[in-house]
Amino acid sequence: MAVKIRQLVAPSLVPNTNQTFYTCPANTKAVFRALSLHNSSAGNVTIEVWVVPTGQSAANGYKIAKVTLAANISQRLTEVEGLVLAEGDMLQTLGSVNGASSIIGGGVEVT
């Protein structure tokens, strides 16, 4: 068994369509330790975070967080701390304003 500390979600802008930011690799389990969001716009932005099981679409996913961030505010999502994803599971987001917010996350992958 190997445990690798990783940046699971690279710094990215959150679009206003469902976007996969992490897919758990084959023969691996991933554990999220942190996920942070930042609103860089002048107005409020709402961001939803979903877990989508392997082989499923966003319509079959599970919403684990929905946050509204005021202008220039950051938030760490405690809802994902300790979240375990199995092979093929995905972490997706949906923002209310295209590219107005950013995301970054880290954790470990166990093979």
pLDDT band at 85 (very low <50, low <70, confident <90, very high): very high
pLDDT in tens, 4-61: 999 999 999 999 999 999 999 999 999 999 999 999 999 999 999 999 999 998 878 9
Helix%, strand%, coil% for the chain, nearest 5: 5, 60, 35
Report how far residue 19's alpha carbon sits from residue 56's, in angstroms, rounded to the nearest whole number. 14
